[in-house]
A and B are shown apart, each in its own frame.
Chain A
Amino acid sequence: MSEFFQTFLNPGVMAESSGLLLRGLWVTVQACLIVVPGGLFFGAGLALAQTLAPAWGARSLSWGVDLIRAFPPLVLLVLIVHGLPFLGIEPPPLLGVGIALTINTSTYYGEILRAGILSIEPTQWEAARSTGLGTMATLRHVILPQGVRNVLPDLAGNTLEAVKLTSLASVVALPDLLRMARVAQGVHFNPSPLILAALLYLALLWPLVRLIRRLGGRAVLPA
């Protein structure tokens, strides 16, 4: 048993690698601060565009969304971070990762928000129209407040996935939390830094996970 502790929960290794890991955590947090708001913003744009576009426009958009969702995010990440320089565009690594993962995650946010909009009865649209409210005002004041509330658990769940998705950045050498843990693991010939990284992810995500649990219990609007 003590050998297990020495291997996976070595306090000395953890202490020595903690500085490195905290630097990695900060990079991960920065990546999340790009990907989550960016994904929500462009996802909302996608959902609204699909709601408001004429049928052919909505169909082409849904094709695009499906293509991106079926595309492995890792490949998208490598293409953007290592491909853009060939086009003469060389974004800083953090921004490159942010762009790639925002593209990926905004399609998921978009589909969730679209489901939220579709969850609202057409009679709500009619009631608003009958009072002279325009399409945008109806969306903003009647449809979205109810629709977003209906899909809050899914939005929070997708945010959880988006945060974990940023660990892919370690593949393109962004010094994020997972990358730093792998570096520390190499330095110490010991996997304890990985466990420490997992604990840091847990600390980052635990409030969100609990929030989702709470939302799940009261997300359904009264009829």
Chain B
Amino acid sequence: MSAVLELRGVGKTFAGVPALRDIHLAVGTSELVALIGPSGSGKSTLLRCCNRLTEPDGGEVVFEGSPVPAGGAELASVRRRMGMVFQAFNLYPHLNALENAALAPRRAAGLGQGEAETAAREALERVGLGDRTTAMPDELSGGQQQRVAIARALALRPRILLLDEPTSALDPELVGSVLRVIRSLKEDGVAMLIATHEIAFAREAADRIAFLADGEILECGPPAEILDRPKSERLQSFLSRL
């Protein structure tokens, strides 16, 4: 299996405190890898190191066979193909749903206005919001806002999506709508690396689960192996507290 994204020995330290230690992880084409672990275990930092929103201290991130460049237009180009979805959505509040999704295709990928809007409209339809294109973010529910954020990433036709706890900021009754979208993206073969606290979702949708604690991947494997036969004490106690 060819890896879309591969982390090789990635490490990160914040003010002397290690946040990530020697992370090795690969995500293959069409693969969904779930990152689970307690809060503060480094899940967000790991995702942010992939597109260098956080600069890793050591190791290498390889995307489609090449190291992720340090900056400039090359990094911007990698970021376009590596969509990111944030816990708090981070939509642009002054733009409507369509404009949110069309901004990067137009201004980062350099598409014409018409093409950019077509890409944005298709992405919004894919997340089930084809009828809310003119809605402003504050007119949408949390679940709808998060789906617009997913559409914003999808409009650039990324090779992989990085999702940072996409349902953690949502009311429980809205979580399902976002997870349904993620499931349908998986069926369409979109590769995803997703940090999540939704263990049931990870069990059913993930190809592999990686368990992070104190910045280290302690276990990684198919859901049944990780969730039903945890080897480390840390994972056992993490699962028992859910």
Residue numbers of A with Cβ under 8 A of B are: 123-124, 126-134, 137, 141-142, 145-146, 149, 221-223
- Out of B53, B108, B156, which one reaches A134, CB within 8 Å? B108
- Say whether B108 contacts A132, CB under 8 Å: yes
What is the distance, in angstroms, from A150's C-beta to the closest C-beta of chain B? 10
B103 within 8 A of A: yes
**Smallest CB–CB gap between A121 and chain B, Å?**
8
Within 8 Å CB of B76, what residues of A?
Answer: 132-134
A129–B92 contact, CB under 8 A? no
A131 touches B92 (CB 8 A): no
Question: Is B88 within 8 A of A146, CB to CB?
Answer: no
A131 touching B94, Cβ below 8 Å: no
Contacts of B86 in A (CB 8 A): 123, 126-127, 130
A137-B76 Cα distance, complex, nearest whole Å:
12
Q: Is the CB of B108 within 8 A of A127?
A: no
Output the least CB separation between A57 and chain B (Å). Answer: 19
Given the complex, which residues of A lie within 8 Å of B138, measured CB to CB?
222-223
**Alpha-carbon gap, A128 to B51, bound state (A):** 12
Interface residues of B (CB under 8 A from A): 51, 53, 73, 76-80, 83-84, 86, 88, 90-94, 103-104, 107-109, 138, 152-153, 156
Most chain B C-beta atoms within 10 Å of own C-beta, residue among A141, A146, A221, A222: A141
Contact between A131 and B90, CB atoms less than 8 A apart: no
For B84, the chain A residues whose CB sits under 8 A away are 130-131
Q: Which residue of A lies closest to B155 (CB)?
A: A131
The CA of A221 and the CA of B76, in the complex, are separated in Å by: 29
B107 touches which one: A130, A133, A145 (CB < 8 A)?
A133
A/B interface sample: 27 pairs, CB < 8 A: A123-B90, A124-B90, A126-B53, A126-B86, A127-B86, A128-B92, A128-B103, A129-B53, A130-B83, A130-B86, A131-B79, A131-B84, A131-B152, A131-B156, A132-B78, A132-B104, A132-B109, A133-B103, A133-B108, A134-B76, A134-B108, A141-B107, A146-B92, A146-B94, A149-B94, A221-B93, A222-B93
Residues of B within 8 A of A133 (CB): 76, 103-104, 107-108
Given contacts A132-B108, A133-B108, contact A221 B94 (CB under 8 A): yes
- What is the CB-to-nearest-CB distance from A143 to chain B, in angstroms, rounded to a whole number? 10
- Closest Cβ of chain A to B179, distance in Å, is 21
Alpha-carbon distance between A127 and B94 when the two chains are bound, in angstroms: 14
Which of A133, A137, A145, A149 has the most B CB atoms < 10 Å from its CB?
A133
Query: CA separation between A123 and B87, bound complex, in Å?
Result: 11
**Bound-complex Cα distance A149 to B104 (A):** 22
Give the docked Cα–Cα distance between A222 and B140 (Å): 12
- The interface residues of chain A lying within 8 Å CB-to-CB of B51 are 130
Q: Which residues of B contact A141 (CB under 8 A)?
A: 103, 107
Q: How far is the CA of A190 from the CA of B120 in the complex (A)?
A: 69
Check B94 against A132 for contact (C-beta < 8 Å).
no
CB-CB under 8 A from A142, the residues of chain B are 92, 103
Contact B152 A132 (CB under 8 A): no
Q: In the complex, what residues of A have CB within 8 A of residue B83's CB? A: 130-131
When the two chains form their complex, are residues B156 and A132 in contact, meaning their CB atoms are under 8 A apart? Answer: yes
Please indicate which of the listed interface residues A124, A127, A130, A131 has the most CB atoms of chain B within 10 Å of its own CB: A131
Beyond the given A131-B153, A223-B138, please list 11 additional residue pairs across the A-B interface where CB-CB is below 8 A.
Answer: A123-B90, A126-B53, A127-B92, A131-B79, A131-B156, A132-B77, A132-B80, A133-B76, A134-B73, A141-B103, A142-B92
